[in-house]
Structure 1
Amino acid sequence: MNWVNFFPSPTVSLYMGRMFLVRTFAILAGLVLILQALDLLSESGKILAVAGNGDAEVWRYVGLRTPEIISRFLPFSVLLGTILALSQLNQNSEVIALKASGLSAHQVLAPLIVAALGVAVISFGFNERIVARSTATLEQWKKVDYGPMPVDRGDRANVWVKSGNDLIVVDQIKGRGNAALLYNVTVYERDGQSLRSILTAPRGARDGDGWRVTDAQRFTIEGGQMARLGTVRIAPGVRPDQFTLSSVNPDGLSFVALREVIADLNQAGRPTKALEGALWHKLSGPLSSILMPLLGAVAAFGIARSGKLFVRAVMGMGLGFLYFVADNFALAMGNLGAYPPFLAAWAPFLLFLMIGEAVLLRSEE
């Protein structure tokens, strides 16, 4: 099959793609301007309430928040840009002319789908290089109530990891890597699923591929006796990063970084289903732009003079917004463990891809 023949002429394809992209990014600029202004109204008071903060900190907040708004509302802009472009083409009878030349509905939409694929690629790169970093920085800034941000030295609290059958609970970890120090260590030593003894120690440090704890004591469950052990070695094979990965914000990590964190957490024996769903959504989220021409295609077909063009445009918006509702619902169910991670991220995309195809075929008939 000659894929070049699947598209309209180069002139028509460029005309349709340019029309779609101009409207998409114009709508995105308007949405970002309005939403950023509304968000700033609620946050500027908190920022300026901190002693020493001024206009520079307000603009810093704008710079950190804007990428997140762009990422979140880009698919909405693609949907509205699609509907506006297709409505104008329909209103000017250009779709009728294209259909009369022998083009199918899929061929009419082909330039928009290719342009939407380009938007999806740009969106993924933008999320990886800019949004993840700005989100992570803004999250840290909010934790200190927009005050001076402390240097993150890796201090963590209330962390547990798994070493074989044993469970290790640490009240506080300071430092990173081989310099990490453990405080108030409790090791629940198990035989299968049965608790055999409990080892406690006030502090611990890295020792080879394990950890050396001092002033250790062991309470034996069967005999009910406490024994002083002094300095002992525990947790062979447990790495420092398995302790320091106590909390993970998937929005603040790139795809590669999040995948590495999930692997570390799996080795630590900690649950990762919600993070796996977020990992898959880093792919399915940007690709949702490809769905928008299909979901908004109902505005392109049908006689504009019938007076139903507005109704068709509303139907297209309804399908698009229904997709975003289903996407958020599936992610929420994935976080609760009700859906598998892959299903939570991809089920809405695949479902609405089939719905869009069904609507397109019905419109063509």
Structure 2
Amino acid sequence: MPLVSTASVYIGTRFLLAIFGVFGLCTVLIFMIDFVELLRQAGKYGSVPGYKLAWITLLRLPAYTEILLPFAVLVGSISALLMLSRKSELAVMRAGGMSVWQILRPGACVGLLLGLLSSTAFNPLAANARDRSEKVYSKAFGRESSPLGKGAAGTWLRQDGTDGQSVLTASSAKEKGAVLGTVTAFVYDKNGRFSERVDAAEARLYDGFWLLRPALVSRMGREPEKFNSYLLSTYLTPERVVDALGSVISVSFWELPDLIYVTERAGLSASRLRIQYELLLSRPLLCVAMVFLAATVSLRSFRSGGIQTMVVTGMVGGFGFFLFAEISRQIGTAGLAPVWAAVWVPVLLAILVSVTVLLHQEDG
């Protein structure tokens, strides 16, 4: 038993180091790419010190790299198992009576732990860092890094409130979507009939209402009227409006349940939020699936040959799985399949296929 325990710690350490190595390499590449993009923007919008660009890049880095964890687990697991096989350590362990499941158990535990930490700790850290990076970006460049993203003018927000529903669009957004610029709102009464159109230079979100000012209100059969301020009721809150306007990248795992509730109450579709929440919930099991998938192509002895072919097969299978998972996610977002099925079915399918292959390799 002590030998098994020592071997498990050794195997787990190999998995952990290999995964961190792959993740670190990907992180460096992403940092360089994003830093070069910020340099391009600095040349376009104004001179910004290099250290400030580097700080913005570092703050944005966690949000960009957290989605790479499953890929790092896949490649790192393949690397760890191949290193053990190259040094004949796998052959010695198998000769000592260890089954493939005992060999993979430390790696699966490492993947499970990394997935849990990624969803519950790293994701909130990435969301907070992303939010702070937008503020630093705004001060450095003198313009907002808008959550509306590119093509913001085509983004429409449908909402509900105590006075009825309304639809609005804006050309820009800041403060995580709580302040909109150049706003147009189409207001409907409680019976769903069109009431008026409101054009404003700015809209600021408070608890229970938008404050638009200055506002130009146009009604059927009446001349447009100008108001210094105009109140538009909404069930959205300043803390929960960001995803209705754009990406969920700045929303923490712990904030998603409340955000889903408020978004649905406001009459908005919460499918993207539910998909994101299910993805974070499934990430630990996804990392375990990547360990099993890596094992299907990495347990063969180097003396038997064909290692390169097996590794290429594993990488192609991994990319195929990620493509299938992305297609499934898009289907769930479009409402063509239940959210839980769109997220969990690819993960469970990967585990079932990998375990079947491993059983066949182990027992014939």
TM-score, normalisation: structure 2: 0.75
Q: Does 1:148 align with 2:146?
A: no
- Matched residue, 2:33: 38
- The alignment status of 1:308 with 2:303, answered yes or no, reads no
In structure 2, distance between residues paired with 1:209 and 1:21: 48
- 1:24 corresponds to 2:1: no
- The match for 2:50 among 44, 55, 61 is 55
2:322 matched residue in structure 1:
324
Deviation at 1:100, TM superposition (A): 3.1
**Structure 2 residue identity aligned to 1:114:** C
Cα 1:244/1:80, change in 2 over 3 Å: closer
Distance 1:186 1:94, change over 3 A: closer
Q: Residue deviations 1:130-156, cap 9 Å, x none?
A: 2112233445666x596136699xxx9
Distance 1:180 1:119 in 2: 37
Partner residue, 1:230: none
User: Bigger shift: 121-130 or 198-207?
Assistant: 198-207
Tell me whether 1:88 sits opposite 2:77 in the alignment: no
User: Whole-Å Cα distance in 1 between the matches of residues 310 and 235 of structure 2?
Assistant: 59
Say which SS state the counterpart of residue 63 (structure 2) adopts.
helix
- Judge conservation of contact 1:265–1:271 (CA < 8 Å) in 2: yes
1:335 is aligned, of 333, 338, 357, to 333
Residues 50-99 of structure 1 show CA distances to partners (whole Å, capped at 9, x for unaligned) of: 43511222211221232234313222222122111111222333323333
CA contact (8 A) 1:75 1:286 kept: no
Contact 2:209 / 2:234 at 8 angstroms: preserved in 1? yes
Determine helix, strand or coil for the equivalent of 2:165: strand
In structure 2, give the amino acid aligned to 1:65.
R
1:166-191 per-residue CA deviation (whole Å, 9 max, x = no partner) reads 4234678x999xx999x987542354
Q: Are the aligned partners of 1:47 and 1:146 in contact in 2 as well (CA < 8 Å)?
A: no
CA deviation vs aligned residue, 1:285-336 (integer Å, no higher than 9, x gap): 3542212220011234334311122222222222222222222222222333
Change in CA separation of 1:47 and 1:307 when aligned onto 2, cut-off 3 Å: same
Determine if contact 1:242/1:265 at 8 Å carries over to the other structure: no
Instruction: Find the counterpart in structure 2 of residue 229 from structure 1.
Output: none
> Aligned pair in 2 of structure 1 residues 244, 14: CA closer, same or farther (>3 Å)?
closer
Query: Residues 83 and 297 of structure 1 are in contact (CA less than 8 Å); yes or no, is this contact kept in structure 2?
Result: yes
Which amino acid counterpart does residue 264 of structure 1 have in structure 2? Answer: V
Identity of aligned residues (%): 23
Amino acid at match of 1:147: F
Counterpart contact for 1:136–1:251, Cα < 8 Å: no
Following superposition, the deviation at residue 264 of structure 1 comes to 1.0
Q: Retained in 2: the 8 A contact 1:241–1:264?
A: no
Compute the RMSD of aligned alpha carbons.
4.4
CA distance in 2, matches of 1:175, 1:283: 29
Q: Which has the larger radius of gyration?
A: 1
Q: Secondary structure at the match of 1:167?
A: strand
- Residue of structure 1 equivalent to 2:355: 357
**SS state at 1:251 partner:** coil
Which amino acid in 2 is paired with 1:29? Answer: G
Partner of 2:129: 134
| Aligned positions of 1:1-365 closer than 5 A | 9-138=4-133, 147-148=141-142, 159-163=157-161, 166-169=164-167, 187-189=187-189, 191=191, 195=193, 198=195, 238=235, 241=238, 246-364=244-362, 365=364
Unaligned runs of 5+ in 2: 147-151, 224-230
What letter is aligned with 1:304?
A: F
| 2:163/2:233 contact within 8 Å kept | no
User: What is the rounded CA distance, in whole Å, between the counterparts of 1:175 and 1:303 in structure 2?
Assistant: 56
Q: Distance in 2 between matches of 1:259 and 1:309?
A: 45
